[in-house]
Amino acid sequence: MPAFGNPAEGQLGPPVPGIIGNSPAMQEVYRITRRVAASNASVLILGETGVGKELIAGAVHQLSHRRSGPFVKVNCGALSESLLESELFGHVRGAYTGAVANREGRFEAADRGTIFLDEINSTSLTLQVKLLRVLQEGEFQRVGDTTTIQSDSRVIAASNRDLMDEVHRERFREDLYWRLNVVPIEIPPLRRRREDIPALVTFFLEYYSELNDRYVVHIEPAALEAMTDYHWPGNVRELQNYIERAVVMAEGDELAESLLPEVVTGSSARPPEGILTNDVESLTTAMVRQGLSSVAEDAGDVHSQIVDRIEREVILQVLQECEGVQTRAAARLGINRNTLHKKIKDYGLDQPEDQA
């Protein structure tokens, strides 16, 4: 993903490098980002897939006193447990089949810098114990070794799931949660900052026009209206994808509505009423009306049930549209294939629909 340009001139406060958006929701993100960057505190970035969590992590690093050190990124959802442990902590020769030489891990590489752990919710409980030790003691051991290695690295983690909910479901350690969640930064989904869409569209038009040697510089009003009205389940990453496609397919210098997919311009562009509201009561009402589930008394549990059900339905719909091809579906959803495969298993979508 290309780095976003600096916010528009006139934005309140100093700009956060690499981010576009002047909405009140993003102003709060910028305020917290600037404030926490000056410290050594662990940061937990929360938000849906595609909102730009990696960009905010990069901004925290660039604004910190560690900016001259390395910024190391690890997608925890892209690797199996054994491979992820080796990736994070390294291994010694002979630690396992195929380990033909000593290998430095990402925590070593991030010494005096920052390590960004994306999709931290994907880690196993066993690996979480080792991550907790790094956060508490600043030390770890390579796989297959007994030598303790020190690491002076700042940890920024990100999750597209509510980690406290994962704690309640006993899928995430509570002690690790509190170690990571020193300063949380919650990035709003694109549908809650629609006023930023025109600036994002303009940026991506310019970027992909230059990248593809095209000259698409105008936006048809109907196209901008359709994009502003669309609910963007894939957030900024989905917008970026559609703009790139439009630039490549445009015959002239204008981004026309006809260049956008039907999901943006058609009747499916808007979600069911009430489904995307923040209000738990409205969500519960919508859930009851649709017969999706019985309503629990605990509001947090209700919210979790709703989010899980919506996510399952979205994944099922995209899989059907992609004729079951998981690589295409993952790209459409803005997640990696391993994450999609895990979600398919979690939601029972690998079974026939009448048995799921």
Residue 80's pLDDT is 86
What global pTM score does this model have? Answer: 0.72
pLDDT (tens digit, 9 = 90+) per residue, 229-245?
Answer: 999 999 999 999 999 99
Residues 152 and 228 in one domain: no
Euclidean distance between CA atoms 4 and 53, whole angstroms: 12
Query: What are the residues facing 91 on neighbouring strands?
Result: 103, 143
Q: Are residues 252 and 296 in the same domain?
A: no
pLDDT at 314: 86
Q: Give the span between the Cα atoms of 34 and 256, in whole angstroms.
A: 38
Residue at which a domain ends, from 165, 186, 207: 186
The alpha carbon of residue 244 and the mean position of all alpha carbons in its chain are separated, in whole angstroms, by 20
Q: What is the pLDDT of residues 104-149, one digit of tens each?
A: 889 999 999 999 999 999 999 999 999 999 999 999 888 888 888 9
Based on the domain organization, do 112 and 160 belong to the same domain?
Answer: yes
| Residue 352 included in any domain | no
The three-class DSSP label of residue 200 is helix
Q: Which residues, in sequence order, are CB contacts of 352 under 8 Å at separation 6+?
A: none
pLDDT for position 6: 46
CB atoms within 10 A of CB 149: 18
Q: Which of 133, 166, 186 is the last residue of a domain?
A: 186
Per-residue pLDDT tens over the stretch 304-351: 667 777 888 888 888 887 778 887 787 778 677 777 888 888 888 876
Give the CATH number for residue 66. Answer: 3.40.50.300
Average pLDDT over residues 236-257: 95
* Per-residue pLDDT, 324: 82
pLDDT for residue 7:
43
Distance between CA atoms of residues 103 and 168, nearest Å: 36
Instruction: Give the mean pLDDT of the chain.
Output: 83
Instruction: Determine the Cα–Cα distance for residues 239 and 101; give it in Å rounded to an integer.
Output: 43
Average pLDDT (26-35) is 94
Domain final residue, candidates 186, 217, 251? 186
Once rounded to an integer, what is the mean pLDDT over residues 209-234? 93
Residue 271 has what pLDDT?
A: 53
- Check which CATH number belongs to the domain holding 245 and give it: 1.10.8.60
- How far, in Å, CA of 109 to CA of 155, rounded? 13
Res. 282: pLDDT tops 60: no
- Which domain does 166 fall in, by range? 24-186
Q: Total structural domains in the chain?
A: 3
Closest CA to 287 of 317, 315, 269, 308: 308
Q: Does the residue 17 lie in any domain? A: no
- The verdict on residue 210 lying in a domain is yes
Residue 113 belongs to some domain of the structure? yes
DSSP secondary structure string, 106-170? Answer: HHHHTTTSEEEEETGGGS-HHHHHHHHHHHHHSEEE-BT---EEE---EEEEEESS-HHHHHHTT
Instruction: Say if residue 49 is in the same domain as residue 65.
Output: yes
pLDDT value, residue 269: 54
In this predicted structure, the answer to whether residue 199 has a pLDDT above a threshold of 90 is: yes
Q: At 266, is the pLDDT very low, low, confident or very high (cuts 50, 70, 90)?
A: confident
Mean per-residue pLDDT, 192-216: 94
User: Are 246 and 113 within one domain?
Assistant: no
- The answer to whether residue 118 sits within a structural domain is yes
Residues 131 and 94 occupy one common structural domain: yes
Residues 86, 143: one domain?
yes
Same domain (yes/no): 262, 285? no
| Structure confidence at residue 67 (pLDDT) | 95
Give the per-residue pLDDT at 193: 94
Does residue 293 sit in the same domain as residue 208?
Answer: no
Residues 161 and 34 grouped into a single domain: yes
pLDDT digits (tens, 9 = 90+) for 43-97: 999 999 999 999 999 999 999 999 999 999 999 999 888 889 889 998 777 667 6
